[in-house]
Structure 1
Amino acid sequence: MKKIYTSYIDNFRGLSREIWLLSLVTFINRAGAMVIPFLSLYLVNAKNFTLPEVGIIMTCFGAGSLLGTWIGGRLTDAVGFYKVILFSLLFGGIGFVLLQILETFYEFCIGIFLLILVADAGRPAIFVAAETYSKPENITRSITLIRLAINLGFSIGPLIGGLIIAHINYTSLFWIDGLTCVIAGISVFLLLKPKRPKDADEQIIIVKEGIPPYLNKYFLLFFIIMIANSMIFVQYFSVMPLYYEKAHFLSEDLIGWLLFINGATIVLFEMPLIAWLDRKGISKTMATFWGIFFLGLSFVVLNLTDFTGVLIVGMLLMTIGEMVGFPFSNALALKMAPKGRKGSYMGLYSMSFSIAHLAGHNGGMNLVNTFGYSKTWLIFSIFLIVICMLTIWLYFLLKKSGAKEI
């Protein structure tokens, strides 16, 4: 047991103090993120919106995320990641508190759009900060540590959130989510200092290197793959909680426990898994392929049986895909980005998730409303097979182009 513990701790050695502080702040923020996993349930159960209406509101979620990440990427290159992260956390926290006063369909459309615009502006900045505070050989592990902090917070948050909903009410979540965002912002100000001016000067000198992401044909194909993959992945945060409740009759606290399995598994196994795969020299592109493959399997198994235990199997398969795919896709995006354009590239990379929110939730809700859950899972599985094939094509294109470490 001691050997296992020592081996686990060794995976974290060599990471900078700033990465640890950034991870701590991220954990504080995500631990309070209880609203998002239960948003679709809140809109259906507490506000009595229909599935198509919820789909439109979640489209507004995606639109805000899309515009927010684009603005965040541009601002990161212009004013630096530090100010963007601070602004996003503080004003996002205030937005979550104000969200509870919304009542009508149109108010939610506008409110969700503005809130997520501010909240997601910080996403590209986090990626750039991870690279800035890391040695080149530690970038993937630094990203993985930040993802670990996100998932540790995300595993605790929904679990507590589910218990709060079951025993108190939904609106308490808005206060907790908002206050933890503000606390995270204050922590950034107190604990994480920006780079010295000489580092900023170095960034200005190299700002003209390389081509912008929208002219990089390989990055655009990668961008399309990430949009498609993320469109299916986001179903676990909107359609899937409804499936747990409507098809398997789970209460909010049990749904919280299911989400806890995802976060806890990532906390325990992602860093050792990524460190092992890094040592094996796995291709970042093929790791992305395997992430998509396991996500597809998570939907396939749901149609094999009506036994409620299959939900755990599906959650674990999705989690394996998430653990393998996302850290390496983050690292691949950074690897493809030239110096001086990291913010723009990571902004576009983050926009892939925003576009997924824009189309994925609405598409999933309407597919379920039209065809039911089983046929929707089949459609998702077939769609992901196509995306797996595209990812293999990208791998060979990059290999043919002479790109290294892809």
Structure 2
Amino acid sequence: MLTTAFQRYINNFRGFSREIWILTIITFINRAGTMVLPFLSKYLREDLHFTYSQVGWVMLCFGIGSLIGSWLGGKLSDKIGFYRIMIFSLLTTGILLFLIEFVTSFYGLCFAMFGLMVIADMFRPAMFVSLGAYAKPENRTRALTLVRLAVNLGFAAGPALGGLIIMGIGYRGLFWADGATCILAILIFWMKVKEKKQSPLPHQEHMADGKPVSVFKDKPFWIFQVTCLVTGILFFQVFTAIPLYQGEHFHLTEFQTGLLLTMNGLLIFFLEMPIVSFVERKGISKVKLTYTGCFLMAVSLFLMLVTGWAGILIVMMIFMTFGEMFSFPFSNSVTLSRAPKGHVGRYMAIYTMSFSVAHMISSKVGMQIIQDFGYNANWLVMGCLGLVGTGFGIWAFRLIQNENKLL
């Protein structure tokens, strides 16, 4: 029985090209080294002694840089190709991370985080476009999920290791670890993977009067992006407000905070691919799953209103993790499938930009609410926002259903 279940689990990972596996490996190396983000708010608050408002402003600059970088990465991927963008982005990011530890002033860090994220987040849309080149059409959703598994397995190792680095040599050791893994990952990619042109998806012959449909006229896509934006806002609370709350209210150490994120990564590693394979076999609507994930994230933040029991942090993280597993791989796939031929970079840029905007809103608005009204007010506002995002997801689902009836 156990052997059969294990074999079924392993079968979910068959059929991928060599390039997809290399992309997965370098993503794991890069994400395992991404120790700065989970502890950035704590570094700014506890090591540099910034106010909550200043932490929010640095995070806002981080998000604006991410927004611009995402758009540039997608636009340039359509123009000059994903391969060059990926190499430039990670190599330069690694070098910049070595330098950022020497920046400690408020305005200096605002500028540095902005510049870093412009370069770093050019990588994300380019990487998504690369999946269109290296994955078979029938494997693309699973390939997206495989790369996400590498991201989450990396996050499972990274935060716990990051917590140990902080306890051993301090926060600045995180910048060196992150920079080194960026450079290592992209060198492996450059040596092992050759550039290849992207092949179109079956859905990408999306034409109107002989011309590709503009992303700016795709109404269901934009409504769906509101749900993606909200899921991002709720999810980024895990890296901004929640670590501070865990330390201040429940007195968790950095290592214990890292263990909660490790639980998140391990759950995703073992459960997300089987969930995706099941959805693919059953033909369940990916838009439905996305807004269901948004709803679960809202529930997880409402659970944070329970203040008298530390175990609620585990329950909250389980709800957040299932929300993440239902939302992110399928919202990726929905966005990729709607992109007309030659416009994949633009669509994926807007998709990744929604998460950049989410990071800005989640950090700045969340920190301001906490400073003015306290943590409970923040959980209540974020939970209600999740219900709004769920409503937009239902609206997008109905529009896409009506659109399909007309085809």
TM exceeds 0.5?
Answer: yes
User: Normalized against structure 1, the TM-score is what?
Assistant: 0.95
Partner of 2:76: 75
Alignment of 1:6-405 (within 5 A): 6-195=7-196, 209-402=211-404
1:206: how far off? 11
Runs of 4+ that moved beyond 2 A: 205-209
Contact 2:132 2:199 in 1 (8 A): no
Q: Supply the distance in 1 between the matched residues of 2:52 and 2:363 (Cα, whole angstroms).
A: 10
Q: Supply the distance in 2 between the matched residues of 1:62 and 1:116 (Cα, whole angstroms).
A: 8
1:225: how far off? 2.2
Where do 5+ consecutive residues of structure 2 fail to align?
none
Q: Report the count of equivalent residues.
A: 400
Contact 1:86 1:189 in 2 (8 A): yes
1:305: how far off? 4.5
Contact 2:62 2:117 in 1 (8 A): yes
Q: Supply the distance in 2 between the matched residues of 1:11 and 1:237 (Cα, whole angstroms).
A: 30
CA distance 1:329–1:403, change in 2 (3 Å): farther
Where do 5+ consecutive residues of structure 1 fail to align?
none
Contact 1:226 1:353 in 2 (8 A): yes
CA distances 1:236-286 after superposition (whole Å, capped 9, x unpaired): 111111011111110111111111111111111111111112212110110
Q: Supply the distance in 2 between the matched residues of 1:232 and 1:389 (Cα, whole angstroms).
A: 15
1:192: how far off? 1.4
1:297: how far off? 1.2
Q: Which amino acid aligns with 2:131?
A: A
Q: Supply the distance in 2 between the matched residues of 1:403 and 1:339 (Cα, whole angstroms).
A: 22
Contact 2:28 2:154 in 1 (8 A): yes
Contact 2:101 2:175 in 1 (8 A): yes
Q: Which amino acid aligns with 2:10?
A: I
1:3: how far off? 1.6
Q: Supply the distance in 2 between the matched residues of 1:209 and 1:317 (Cα, whole angstroms).
A: 43
1:17: how far off? 1.4
- Partner of 2:104, secondary structure, is coil
Q: Supply the distance in 2 between the matched residues of 1:199 and 1:224 (Cα, whole angstroms).
A: 28
Taking only the aligned residue pairs, the percentage that are identical comes to 43
Q: Supply the distance in 2 between the matched residues of 1:396 and 1:355 (Cα, whole angstroms).
A: 25
CA distances 1:182-215 after superposition (whole Å, capped 9, x unpaired): 001101111111116x979xxxx99995222122
Q: Supply the distance in 2 between the matched residues of 1:403 and 1:104 (Cα, whole angstroms).
A: 57
1:310: how far off? 0.8
Q: Supply the distance in 1 between the matched residues of 2:263 and 2:350 (Cα, whole angstroms).
A: 30
Contact 1:209 1:340 in 2 (8 A): no
Q: Supply the distance in 2 between the matched residues of 1:327 and 1:139 (Cα, whole angstroms).
A: 11
